[in-house]
Structure 1
Amino acid sequence: MKVKVQKERALTLLNMIVFCVIVLLFPVCGSVLSTGWVQSPGHPRGYDPYSNLTWKKCASTGHKITLTLIHLDLEESFECEDDALKLFADEVLLFNLCGRKSMRELQSSVNPFLHSSPGGCLSVSFLTDYSNTERHTGFRGFYTIKDVDECKDPENECTQLCNNYIGGYRCFCRPGYTLDSDKHTCQVSCSEDHTGSQEGVLMSPDWPEPYPENSVCSYTLAVEEGLQFELTFMGVFDVEKENGQCIDSLTIKPLYGGVQTFCGRDVPPSLLTRSQRVEIIFRTDHKGANRGFSLSYKTRGMKCTGPVTPKSSLNPQHAEYPTGYKVTVKCDKGHVLKSHESAEDEYEAICQKNGQWSPVIPCEPVDCGIPELPELMELSEKEPSTTYLNQISLKCENEYYQLDKNGNLTCNADGNWVSESGQKLTDDLPKCEPVCGINTDAFFGGRVYGGKPALIKQIPWQLFHKKSPRGGASLISDYWALTAAHVVDGYETTTMNWLGAIVDGKSQNPVSMETEKIIIHPNYQKVGRDSPSNYDNDIALIKMSARVPIGPHIRPVCLPEKANEPVKEGTISGFGRIKDEKSSRYLLYGHVQIHPLGECHSEGLPVTDNMICAGGDEVDSCQGDSGGPLFSPVLGYGSPDKPYRLTGIVSWGPLGCGNKNLKGFYTKVQNYLDWIKETIEKNSK
């Protein structure tokens, strides 16, 4: 018993010695709130197998906890997988320790890091396995919870002075400054109220010495209605500015009108505020040694100035107007009064005592709105601006149509869209007309009589009347086609069905068109459709009952130009008779040369200047080709710059087809351009 008591006394004495060492190494001041020990089970006699310890200690706000290990003796193992001491700060693992470390080693490599954040926690986890090859004493540490000195933290944001106390800190200011509501920023008490004063001087704090930091000075000027303030800067103006940006600033805010902010060293001009109340705000940051400003203020009678509202003029016109003065406000050209149902553009306004006009009705630009456009036409932009002087442009909906004139329009002052020539859109509306004379697949060679089949996109203007009378026609727009008069003679009051977009007469997917009108040239002599004695003026116009769906397979051919060089060759096409005297199932084409009329045999029938004579080496049009096209240039040589044009219409020829000594006759389309244009205009919707 005596031995046990002596051992306990010795242990107590040892602890006191160790504590004294710790106190010497880590001074403990009056801010320490709590201290204590944490150690392994059985220390210092040694820990048993399967020993474990979990310990956690937290500090309150404004405090932190530190731990100092003074002893470490655990079983050594790879990555401390047998026995281990794990140390955490704020739930983050700092160390995983095992083996032996001296006090010096602990002091240098472990203890400096064993502390929590302010208000944080430290925790310890000690766990051993089933056996040890030798006895190990474990670990022991000393913890303290003490106050944090926030004033030593450069991020505490006190702009001047700081006072630390147990559990927190407080910012305070030097004499002449007040603590802002944020409890960190010290500001100069420099706000002044000059209400009722009609003249005086305003200066930055400490003028003419450098102004203090963190200043927010508000100077209020206010007088009775009918007066305004005039501000004049005096002497030096020096407000901090860097790289073109205001670091400190002087802001002038009148009751009416725009706010102005000044900085730098350029003296601002005198200001007539046009306001009976003005607030002047001077702001500075936490650094700088600039001198600030000095300005005088005085009052003068209130005046009104123009304009009353943007985009308007006054009558009469003066630089200033006294209170009570009445003027007529007139909106500028192309503008009308806002919220007025009628197109009013003027009203009367009176200058008020506060220097403002009343009433104030804004002038807004005339709006032409989105125009109503015909079928096939659309705007180039989806949501264009439609007000005065804005422009829009029109376009056709697809590539197979083009405008017949310029589609640029401008909104004028009367609210109308006008063309570049100045005409109203309703009087000068562009039209979308099919692009003519263009195909998408050209091929060379072949002929009609015994000719070569055409491809589907080669001759897209070719139309075909399959039933009696069998014949052809040429599409010249999305409503009109040209054919020979003798093909439709006697059918003027009959609905004929024409086929397009085919090269095979048995096609199951043709574009089918019904006729609305058939108009034969008035000078054509109706002497019998099957065997007329005169083919002069053998031309007729066909109007379809509905718009032809223009696309890659069906599109019009161009009409010839009025003045043009004589055409020497071209291409003919049709579904007419071939060598075996049967009608062709397929659309055939071939190239022909154009000859002087005198070289062509007519077998006694009259030949006129309204005809073209053409043929080639066993190339000829034949029965069933009548009304079809003779077009130039030769198929395969057309282009957007040189479109295919309808030179002739298959009309008549001597008996027999394909005889190289005989040529065919074609109606000369160039001679009928005026009749075609006038007839279409007269019979259009």
Structure 2
Amino acid sequence: MRLCREMGHFGKLTVQAQADQEAEGIQTRRGNKGVARGTQASRAGATAADTFARPLISQHHLPHSCLHRPGATPEWHHLPSSTHRWWLLLWGVLQACPTQGSMLLAQPLPQKLTSPGYPEPYVKGQESFTDIEAPEGFAVKLIFQDFDLEPSPDCEQDSVTITASGMDPSRFCGQQGSPLGSPPGEKAFVSLGNSLRLTFRASASSEDRPPNLHKGFLALYQAVDLDECAFQHNSGEDNAQQPRCQHLCHNYIGGYFCSCHLGYELQEDGHSCQAECSRELFTEPSGYISSLEYPQPYPPDLRCNYSIRVERGLTIHLKFLEPFEIDDHQQVHCPYDQLQIYASGRNIGEFCGSQRPAPIDTNSNAVDLLFFTDESGDSRGWKLHYTTEIIKCPQPKTLDTFTVIQDLQPQYEFRDYFIASCKQGYQLMEGKQVLLSFTAVCQDDGTWHRAMPRCKIKDCGRPKSLPNGDFNYITTKGVNTYQARIQYYCREPYYKMHTGGGSSKSERGAYTCSAQGVWMNELEGETMPRCLPVCGKPVNPVEEKQRIIGGRKAKPGSFPWQAFTNIYGHGGGALLGDRWILTAAHTLKPKEYDEQNNASVDVFLGHVNVDEITKLGNHPVRRFIIHPDYRQEDSHSFEGDIALLELENSVTLGPDILPICLPDNDTFYDWGFMGYVSGFGITERKLSHDLRYVHLPIAKREMCQSWLQKKNRNDVFSRNMFCAGSPTLKQDSCQGDSGGVFAMKDEKNDQWVAMGIVSWGIGCGEGYGFYTKVLNYVDWIKKEMEKAG
């Protein structure tokens, strides 16, 4: 929507009489930078707004006066012969609408001005003049629509004369289109100022002349915009009405304003300009900058600062043009005038003389040109063309042959980036810091935001130690970097490497330093191999067939699983794996024993002599697990007489310490199969200081059951037990052997297995011995061992 303001015209012509008085002025100012100009209206109480777009008409009559109402024929009245001046104020119509650029559009409507009595013939013998005045900044335009005056040579009789400031008077008479006289024709008369005078003269009639039949004139007048700047540009005359803009003049409807060339500042008078170049700012991506008045000599005493500021990531290039002249001295560099150039605060140089500087790449988006001059000189100054381009970063270069730049570009600009990585088996290093990835970004100053890294070969570090085993280097010894290879092995014959999926121990033990920097096996990945204890493989297996009672001493290594316990007395047990002891529950919880008096549990391994085995040191027990079927309070039942001792630490296996295997075949419990029982128990009615063993056959259950009945015993002999020995052989285990195992060799698998645990009997060497049947408890044993990890 436009907001328009229409200046309507008054419906009457105001007449004011002022005897021989001069009009007073009213000053007006238009536009933000409009220059104050204007004349004063004589009407009392008139305001600046009253004079806007208002043609002012005054008519001076000798014998008559004319009253002109808009839209009506003027009425002429006879007045006394004394001189009067009449001012007639007439509103034209000015429609002022802001348009794009805030321009004012003047559209004044024409008004009529006629001779007295028009269109009737005018009366002879009169003379009057009419002054038409437009608002300041406007001119008066007048054109005759009808013209009929008596013609005469040089219009000496009747005439209309038009005068205005800056114009020669024009006198007219005759009729339009007639060759007689000097009619105005269709010419439009435009004042050079804001006023115009029309003088009408009708000579007196004489008796010898015919009556007047000429009707006079009809003229149209209106206010039109006055182009003050055109007067300044086209006229060399010194006219007070002309604008005196020192540099640039700008016309607008109703006025004008002045401005200055770049580097100058408009002064308070609104016309003059003074050099001011201390804060010139240029933000376009390219342009021209020059000293004041270039290529004319620059003014004296300048302190100019031309600042160029463009977006981040752009660099400014400067190219000086010819001519280049700054006052200089042959012996002293730039003592008078100088041009200093700074880029982001960095001084690029100081220039003067007649040799223009070479093109300058500032590598900056902020440049300041400081130009200082003294009070004299006539050098022509300088001019430069500045351009911009996006800043570029140097081409990235690797520091070694193992660094790879992904998707390398031929050129990198501001905000571009590159990604660096390493060849397989190498890792990024920034100083001493290991990087998982690397990205560098081109900055707005043409540098990369971080330096190029190096690639270092992956180092897997020294291979981990293998418990109960070791490793050998397949490749160069001591080199643990990418693609180095090692072979783990176990300390045989006491340990064997755990293999699965049909792999061999050599495949399972082979590890390579991988590209990830860790030792890897093709089958198991990073998982270390395991050296499992070898069970049932004594290095010096027993061959004699002697009883413990009266039996022979065991040789070292014959029963390497044998444990010597001291809990509530001497007892025995057997090593399972490298941290478990299999024993009888009653050695931990004896029958009919006060449970509140818990004894310490001491376990010894690794020798066949009590004195020597105790010297080797006790193996601390972390915990013991008794089978839930065992009942300490039931003196007649040894059901569930089995227990496990978990050692605090794994034991190191060797020829004197080796575990026994668990059974997996029930056929070994058949009658007649022979087994061995070893222990540090009673022999010949005294405790043995040496490990002894006996060779015993497995007896029939019926025979053992019958023998118990003959002894009138009600002891429980369940299916979780078996018996061995013979009443006629006088061979048996005895006190101090409890918890030891009944061992048998599995010829098929070439290993020794724990078939039973010495549990109970009647006397020593007087009949059968009764043993816990281990096969029935294998699942429980494995479950408890697996639970512990």
Q: TM-score normalized by structure 1?
A: 0.45
Higher-Rg member (1/2): 2
Specify which structure has the bigger relative contact order, considering alpha-carbon pairs within 8 angstroms and separated by 6 or more residues: 1
